[in-house]
Amino acid sequence: MKDVELNEVDQEKQLMTRETQKNGCVKVTVPEKAGAKYTGLSKDELIKITSTAGWVRTRRALLFLFVLGWVGMLAGAIVIIVQAPRCKPIPEMNWWNEGPLYKISDVNEFSEKGLKGVEEKLDYLTQMKVKGLILDLLDTERAKQLQTLDLVSVKSAIDTENDLKSLLDQAHKKDISIVLNLTEMASDWLNNVTSNVEKLKEAWFKGFGGIFLSELKGITTTKSWQTIQAMFNKTKESKVALMGSVTGLSVDDVSHLMKHSGVDLHLTELPDPAELGLIKKLYSRHPQTNLGWSLGSLASRTPAWPIRLYQMLLFTLPGTPVFSAGDEVGLKAGEKPQIMWDLENPVEEKNVTAKTLREERIAIRSFFKALSDLRGRERSLLHGEYVSFNTTDTSLAFLRLWDQSERFLTAINWGNDPVTMTLSHSDLPAQAQVRLSTDAANLVVHSMVSLKKLQLGPSQAVLLSYPYSG
């Protein structure tokens, strides 16, 4: 019984023995002292304490400091806003100013599937950031019969009206406008105001984004030109463009035509680099939204490797770059654009020369795409000011800048000897970053180069950038 009574004793009342100490089963309870419970101050006591003079002065001081700090921050924000430089308003841009235009002279050569094949290549054109697709006449069966020619009807061996409608719909979804190229139209055809000009009206009813006319100087003297101008002026809200080419004219004649023709985009062949002074003159007289540049005959008389120099010029000059199918890979005159699609599915090349040529064309296309990407997202390249540096017979350099955006500097040497450029402008820093270069060995992308003595090798070009400094 004594053992039972001992086990029933509360654990905290057991004696500390060596065994219980070892097992740790004994609890020690500290009794609470009577009256030691903390209850805090009552509401009346708190009100009485906070109403004292010391607490009142403290609260007022803290409130004053809070209001003073808030007013100071507000005043500082106002000062920053007032003193901050004003952002320049973005000029109005049309769809034909936002990216390159792409000319397909022969749909059947571009793709064996005709218009259906062009539709299949819309994703490819989107990757190249193309904004407009210029197509030649679709009525190929009666292209030479001007009196019965239907501008917007499809009459060919492989294409149908549904193919055209599908192409227009899919291009619209991908933000690409289709422009109808009337290069084959003679000025005599446009003199027939009653019938042929009416055919032009049908073009945009079918969803075309514009009409392209060749040799504007001759067309603007026809008796139907005022009717054409009035017709297109009614379509300005729908962004239907009237485009035309200008060739063989002096700077003054081109300037006069741009001022009085009412054409939205004047396309001029890019002159030899040594004659680029006309670009500066046209830019100083007219908004760059009306300027367009194409390679023209340069692509045929230039070897494949320096085509990148002209690609850089077209993408970095003020105005809209216009390319023919194949210019993005450096196709020579006489080569069909179908060669481009062989690059997408390369076969094992046993011929070393053919393999080298294919790799070179892929590199040229990558260079084209990188330039197109830069132009599409950089404001200085898209609509920035144009500042030309001193040029020589074999080299040139110019600057594109816009407000507080990043600046871009283009330098090109098309000669056979290296050149050292000494660039001087108040906006130029000591160094700039290489963004794109045709000389990967000496001008590595993302590297920094000195602008005091910029060195370029033979037939090399570089695109540099530096931030706005304030």
In the prediction, which pLDDT does 149 show? 58
Average pLDDT for the chain: 80
85: Cβ–Cβ under 8 A, 6 or more apart, which residues? 404, 470
pLDDT: is 329 or 346 the higher one?
329
Convert the pLDDT of each residue in 84-118 to its tens digit: 777 788 888 889 999 999 999 888 888 888 889 99
Determine the pLDDT at residue 123.
Answer: 94
Strand duo 407-413 + 460-466: pairing: antiparallel
Two tokens, residue 314 = 């077209």
Closest of 89, 65, 69 to residue 77, by C-alpha: 69
- pLDDT for 131-164, tens place per residue? 999 988 665 554 455 555 566 566 666 667 788 8
Tokens 């990558």, located at residue: 366
What pLDDT does 7 receive? Answer: 52
Tell me which residue has tokens 């463009």.
Answer: 241
Taking 70 as the threshold, does the pLDDT of residue 186 lie above it?
no
User: In 10 A of CB 278, how many CB atoms?
Assistant: 15
Q: Please return the burial class of 97, using the count of CB atoms within 10 Å of its CB with bins 0-12, 13-18 and 19+.
A: buried
Strands (E), 85-158: 101-104, 132-135
Q: How far is CA 408 from the centre of its chain?
A: 14
pLDDT at 187 over 70: no
pLDDT at 318 over 80: yes
Kindly state the average pLDDT of the residues 174-179: 93
Q: Give residue-wise pLDDT tens across range 15-42.
A: 555 544 445 555 555 555 555 566 677 8
Instruction: Give the tokens for residue 132.
Output: 């407009």
d(CA 32, CA 29): 9
CATH numeric code, 387-466: 2.60.40.1180
Question: 405 vs 391, which has greater pLDDT?
Answer: 405
Check: CB of residue 135 under 8 Å from CB of residue 179.
Answer: yes
Considering the chain, what percentage of its residues have pLDDT values greater than 90? 31
What SS3 state is found at 130? coil
- What is the pLDDT at residue 363? 92
Cβ(134)–Cβ(179) below 8 Å:
yes
Q: Is the pLDDT of residue 352 over 70?
A: yes
Query: What's the one-letter identity of residue 164?
Result: L
Rounded average pLDDT over 315-343: 87
DSSP letter, residue 272: P
* pLDDT over 50 at 12, yes or no: no
Q: Supply the pLDDT for residue 245.
A: 85
More confident residue, 230 or 418: 418
Distance of CA 109 to the CA centre of its chain: 29
Most confident among 73-82, 133-142, 143-152, 387-396 (mean pLDDT): 73-82
Rg (CA), the chain: 37
Of the pLDDT bands very low, low, confident and very high (cuts 50, 70, 90), residue 1 is: very low
- Flag the least confident range among 121-130, 228-237, 366-375: 228-237
Q: Where are the domains of the chain?
A: 95-382, 387-466
Q: Do 149 and 177 contact (CB within 8 A), yes or no?
A: no
Task: Report percent pLDDT > 70 for the chain.
Answer: 75
CA neighbor of 311 nearest in space, from 363, 372, 373: 372
Confidence of residue 469 (pLDDT cuts 50, 70, 90): confident
The CATH homologous superfamily of the domain defined by 95-382: Glycosidases (3.20.20.80)
The pLDDT value given to residue 230: 73
Range in 163-177, 296-310, 314-328 the model is least confident about: 296-310
Q: Which is higher by pLDDT, 317 or 350?
A: 317
* CA–CA gap between residue 311 and residue 363 (Å, rounded): 13
